[in-house]
Amino acid sequence: MAGRMVLGTIRTMRPIDRVWRYPPVRAVHPSPALCAGHNKWSKVKHIKGPKDEARGRMIAKFVMLIKNVVKEGGPNPDMNLNLAHLLEQCRNKNVPKASIENAIKNAEKAKPMSQFMFEARGPGGCLLLIEVLTDNSTRSKQDVRSVLSKNGGMLSEGARYNFSKKGVVVVPGQNVTADRALELAIEAGAEDVQETEDEEDDTPLLRFICDDADLRKVRTSLEELGMKVMSSDSEFVPRDFLPLDQAQLEAASALVEALGDCPDVVRVWDNIQALS
């Protein structure tokens, strides 16, 4: 599956009219996830417990992100696209309205935060990009390195080269066949479409992948084609997936969950794919 936000794709959260024209040469290919059916990795990855504690951590990270984007771009989502994407994800994850309003209200009082990306390698040789939002990069790096060391991973430069920054639009996948999903991708101007599942209730989802600069156009096109957009955001999508066996998959899941428990970690992207 493509990059994942530890919050539960906070991935992490985010219209211009467009007339589609077929270019001279263009092909939209189904991703491996679509060919093989639901990617089992999406089911394994975010099984957390206790559930209330996991939800509390999720809400705390949303609050932290909201404060940061408001501090950078202001409290008006009509003028701050990053905030609009975050609020959309908050609604989809049922983040309490009071928590959102308090985060926006108190954003200016919050400590200045910086975003960093750590590159890592995990069980089975999988590659990870770990995004942190912190007021102390040294502390965050120590925490991340410790978690990696305890769970079969290590910091590893060069992992980022296996990922491309793309726009990703997520819509419900119920009653949408693979052929229709490809038709929608072509009509909307997307490069690819992936089939996956919601991490909480296993309902089918479709992820339309596009050039990051075309994110708003593709979202608008899908809405005009009658699709209900659940979220749209910029993500790091792997160029190549790495199939893992069950033992490696469980080890990778434990690592990603442990990273998600780090207070400063807001998203983790990986190139993991479950063996069919």
Q: Has residue 143 been placed in a domain?
A: yes
Q: Has residue 268 been placed in a domain?
A: yes
User: Global pTM?
Assistant: 0.75
Domain holding 270, by residue range, is 1-14+30-163+241-276
Question: With bands split at pLDDT 50, 70 and 90, how would you rate the model's confidence at 276?
Answer: low
Question: With bands split at pLDDT 50, 70 and 90, how would you rate the model's confidence at 11?
Answer: very low
For the chain, what is the domain count? 1
Q: Is the pLDDT of residue 232 over 50?
A: yes
Q: Has residue 217 been placed in a domain?
A: no
Q: Has residue 194 been placed in a domain?
A: no
Question: With bands split at pLDDT 50, 70 and 90, how would you rate the model's confidence at 54?
Answer: confident
Cα separation, 67 vs 61, whole angstroms: 10
Q: Has residue 132 been placed in a domain?
A: yes
Q: Has residue 110 been placed in a domain?
A: yes
- At 108-148, the pLDDT tens digits run 888 888 989 999 999 999 999 999 999 999 999 999 999 99
- By DSSP bridging, strand 192-197 and strand 29-30 are parallel
Q: Has residue 159 been placed in a domain?
A: yes
- At 138-155, the pLDDT tens digits run 999 999 999 999 999 999
Question: With bands split at pLDDT 50, 70 and 90, how would you rate the model's confidence at 42?
Answer: low
Specify which residues 36 forms β-bridges with: none
Beta-carbon contacts of 180 under 8 Å, excluding residues fewer than 6 positions away, are none
184-185-188 Cα angle (round to 5): 80
**CATH number of the domain bearing residue 59:** 3.30.70.980
Q: Determine the average pLDDT of the residues in 170-179.
A: 92
Q: Has residue 210 been placed in a domain?
A: no
What SS3 class is residue 78? coil
